[in-house]
Structure 1
């Protein structure tokens, strides 16, 4: 006798594929995208090693970038084939994706098949950092040793390989911000003596290891070390972090750039980095049978000042640190560009070691295509959302009046981290993919309300979810024009904390810095990161490449 679940699968227009077959596909050379449509926080608790997080709640804003070619084979996974993947498949099909399957029994089917489950986010990149440290013996010092060096006045320079925003929030005392791909690009102007030790750090481990090894690979003559466990290790050692630092490594001088270009060319030769010209790029772009990702690996500020039309912004260090944030199609092609080749070649060398086999650097960089550059931030391709009939926008004054009379209830769709920091008093927290159950709780908890008003940070995400809310709600639905930001700008009161929760806080990833017990969360995170190299041996779906140092 068939159960309701069996009937759902039989009636589904999207075929099921079992976990063992999906795992086998991971070892083949054909293109396909393996996507987890659960919320990011739930993804963080456990998933297959090389699956990419593509939460149902955010498909409109992320899918076109993650899987740009509509004919790509896509395999979707949810928790236990519980209907979420079906909903995602229906949405993807409406956007023109033509080859969609669903993994049978979701993550539970993967577990039942005896396959390895990994916790965390950006796991391939994190595991790669551990691989690099083990295979290349990347030199490292701990926080106590760094403190001794500081007290001794050692001839050294501390380079923080994170983006400026992270660095500005907290950093090591005396550190200079020089994000990942910028290290080889800018370092030659920062050192005057070959005896000066270069110390590289990040928040934890990966970017510090990759950054230090980048300088070593580039053949720099100075001693190079990374700070074991980064700022987390510094904090756990009882040291105080600097906050608000604005010290940034300057762009290279002509002399420094010449040295950087020479170094990047040596790296390019060692790791077999391939280059293509504008004609080659156009040929790849015209090939409808293959997926292509075209990235500008300079800083976001440089990208906004001018970039090749169609290139996406992916600063090199972040592209290596979180590759699956940018690329979801396995075995696809990747083209990198910058202005002088240094950052593109260095980034390409790491992608090749990560296991990507078709990585190219655009010869000539920004001037290669011979066309005017686009200016401004990267534009997000927003896939068409369902029409939300009858949904009106209301302003903050109207909402304030409705709340005072008890005629409305606010449902906030911002993520739980943002909701915890600030929300409209009395607002309920809900997750878009769970609105059916969430709005039922809201209606039961606010029996006098005659209308649900959706909000989010600036109202944009609330507008995306409006059709879903209408379908799930027994009450009329409106949207707060401008979202919670306009409420705050009007000087109206705000609340904080987790209250009126219709869902668990598993919608987004919580970093170690988001927990009250910082020492405990940092220790757990670092332990997880270090243990990845052992867990990696239990799963053969990812093969990193080792290149012996040249003589």
Structure 2
């Protein structure tokens, strides 16, 4: 293999990770492969979605970057993309993940591992109290005064939860808890899908000084299910925004957390200085409110990162070690409580933007998206109605480069699933066609894949304008059978509840894995929490 980019040996990378300078490690394999075994401090940026993920993870183009894969081939491809867009400090881990393991360094399974491990460290360090599913059920059946708060985002809560739970995402808990629990005699139980957000949620309420007894639900919804108890789907009970008394308590509690964990508050002048210096020091700017609030109006340059998810999946938001992180909200509560967690996770440069700091302007809707190379990707487009006509005539094969999770949720009838990063090899599995048409949920990844599929098939390739969303929006049907698979479906890691068989075994394995992270992270030594 011809190599263009410098290599770094595993031992040299291992020495750099605990150092003082900035560094980002990106693993460019697909999520399911990454989840089998990866470096603890690596963020996953699959080559199939690389151009879309990188601008979010790497806002500074001079950041030292190390790319990781199995055999350097995907990493070389990713390095070429970075170099073409001005990233000038890129190297590749020599020998990839196998070389890291051969050098005697630890590999980790799963996703969001730093955050998951942190939750387990929190439980050990603070002795966070918990209640198991049967005890909770017994007390509820006896009529005890209990409030169950599900600390996940609404979509996860709505998909599956425990009967009677109220949705209150983790970043909202301190803000809304007193509104949900007006009596100090009420037992507060914090729940999530497994363990992390239950522990983190319960502990932040304890740290905030909620006068109630607060416990986490041991093993969350999975533990509830494994105990033989019924779950609920389609729940819609949300804890409301706080009224005056509850809000004032939340503000004081958040201020106390920020003081205790030494989180500084900055104003507009300091933020402007950070922004001026972002060519020299990486700057992440996050709005930690919920998605709907964010879309209703946010500061330009601030990305949506709801506080609970920022703590739960930090490596999907922040890839650069020792970068500056500025959090914003509109109430002075959510940014401070989230920052208190990030500080304890070991991020040394976390700041809260004063909620009263003036903004020169306000953006409405989602943040403008930057996708590397998207403007240069030429395409012959077809509309949804035109594609429907072509399909009726049998003149076309549709190739869907969505994730396999998205493909299973609904795809154009007859469409073939393919992992974009494997098109060169997997195109041979596709049926012969005079014309291939690429689609993805919103066309972005499909547009990036056009030249790759043309090179792999030697045939013309069109693009479904607006992607599968446009097809559905035009009134055309979707199907959900995963019958046409050109690629393996290891591009994502399925949650236990998503699996079609052996769900309970997967749940037990997952819960055991989480508990075991404490010792594994301690042995690794590249990640230090401040608890």
- Measured against the shorter chain, the TM-score band is over 0.9
- Structure 1 Cα separation of the partners of residues 109 and 222 of structure 2: 19
Match runs of 1:64-463 below 5 Å? 64-81=55-72, 83-287=73-277, 288-363=279-354, 365=355, 367-385=356-374, 387-389=376-378, 391-442=379-430, 446-447=431-432, 449-463=433-447
What's the TM-score once normalised by structure 1's chain length?
0.92
SS in structure 1 of the partner of residue 361 of structure 2 = coil
Answer yes or no: is the 8 Å Cα contact 2:30–2:490 preserved in 1: yes
Q: CA deviation at 1:299?
A: 1.3
Q: Does the C-alpha gap of structure 1 residues 438 and 190 become closer, same or farther in structure 2, counting only changes over 3 Å?
A: same
Residues 104-145 of structure 1, C-alpha deviations (whole Å, 9 max, x = no match): 011111111111110111000000000000110000011001
Gaps spanning 5+ residues in structure 1: where?
A: 547-551
Q: Which moved more, 1:528-537 or 1:400-409?
A: 400-409
Q: CA deviation at 1:72?
A: 0.5
SS in structure 2 of the partner of residue 181 of structure 1 = helix
SS in structure 2 of the partner of residue 172 of structure 1 = coil
Residues 247-306 of structure 1, C-alpha deviations (whole Å, 9 max, x = no match): 111111121111111111221221111111111111111112100111111111211122
- Structure 1 Cα separation of the partners of residues 177 and 477 of structure 2: 48
Answer yes or no: is the 8 Å Cα contact 1:386–1:467 preserved in 2: no
Q: CA deviation at 1:95?
A: 1.1
Q: CA deviation at 1:524?
A: 1.6
> Corresponding residue for 1:473?
457
Answer yes or no: is the 8 Å Cα contact 1:387–1:467 preserved in 2: no
SS in structure 2 of the partner of residue 538 of structure 1 = helix
Answer yes or no: is the 8 Å Cα contact 1:80–1:109 preserved in 2: no
> Corresponding residue for 1:524?
509
Residues 150-171 of structure 1, C-alpha deviations (whole Å, 9 max, x = no match): 1111112111111111112222
- Structure 2 Cα separation of the partners of residues 483 and 258 of structure 1: 46
The counterpart of 2:523, out of the listed 533, 538, 541, is 538
Q: CA deviation at 1:494?
A: 4.5
Answer yes or no: is the 8 Å Cα contact 2:179–2:243 preserved in 1: yes
Answer yes or no: is the 8 Å Cα contact 1:127–1:529 preserved in 2: yes
Q: Which moved more, 1:60-69 or 1:391-400?
A: 391-400
- Structure 1 Cα separation of the partners of residues 359 and 385 of structure 2: 52
Answer yes or no: is the 8 Å Cα contact 1:396–1:486 preserved in 2: yes
Q: CA deviation at 1:212?
A: 0.3
Q: CA deviation at 1:210?
A: 0.3
- Structure 2 Cα separation of the partners of residues 341 and 325 of structure 1: 24
- Structure 2 Cα separation of the partners of residues 231 and 171 of structure 1: 6
The counterpart of 1:60, out of the listed 32, 42, 51, is 51
Question: Is the counterpart of residue 500 in structure 1 residue 484 in structure 2?
Answer: yes
Q: Which moved more, 1:352-361 or 1:397-406?
A: 397-406
Answer yes or no: is the 8 Å Cα contact 2:374–2:444 preserved in 1: no
**What is the root-mean-square deviation in Å for CA atoms of aligned residues?**
1.7
The counterpart of 1:509, out of the listed 489, 493, 514, is 493
SS in structure 1 of the partner of residue 376 of structure 2 = coil
SS in structure 1 of the partner of residue 233 of structure 2 = coil
Gaps spanning 5+ residues in structure 2: where?
A: none
Q: Does the C-alpha gap of structure 1 residues 238 and 65 become closer, same or farther in structure 2, counting only changes over 3 Å?
A: same
- Structure 1 Cα separation of the partners of residues 233 and 281 of structure 2: 46
- Structure 2 Cα separation of the partners of residues 72 and 146 of structure 1: 49
Answer yes or no: is the 8 Å Cα contact 2:131–2:216 preserved in 1: yes
Answer yes or no: is the 8 Å Cα contact 1:334–1:359 preserved in 2: yes
Match runs of 1:14-53 below 5 Å? 14-53=5-44
Residues 438-459 of structure 1, C-alpha deviations (whole Å, 9 max, x = no match): 22332xxx24x21211122243
- Structure 2 Cα separation of the partners of residues 26 and 269 of structure 1: 29
- Structure 1 Cα separation of the partners of residues 190 and 16 of structure 2: 38
Q: Does the C-alpha gap of structure 1 residues 20 and 361 become closer, same or farther in structure 2, counting only changes over 3 Å?
A: same
Q: Does the C-alpha gap of structure 1 residues 440 and 21 become closer, same or farther in structure 2, counting only changes over 3 Å?
A: same
- Structure 1 Cα separation of the partners of residues 25 and 34 of structure 2: 13
Q: Does the C-alpha gap of structure 1 residues 157 and 116 become closer, same or farther in structure 2, counting only changes over 3 Å?
A: same
> Corresponding residue for 1:549?
none
Aligned residues: 529
- Structure 1 Cα separation of the partners of residues 235 and 475 of structure 2: 31
- Structure 1 Cα separation of the partners of residues 127 and 402 of structure 2: 43
- Structure 2 Cα separation of the partners of residues 422 and 192 of structure 1: 43
SS in structure 1 of the partner of residue 205 of structure 2 = helix
SS in structure 1 of the partner of residue 188 of structure 2 = strand
Q: CA deviation at 1:488?
A: 4.4
SS in structure 2 of the partner of residue 97 of structure 1 = coil
- Structure 1 Cα separation of the partners of residues 263 and 152 of structure 2: 24
Q: CA deviation at 1:495?
A: 4.0
Runs of 4+ in structure 1 over 6 Å off: none
Q: Which moved more, 1:274-283 or 1:495-504?
A: 495-504
Q: Does the C-alpha gap of structure 1 residues 341 and 489 become closer, same or farther in structure 2, counting only changes over 3 Å?
A: closer
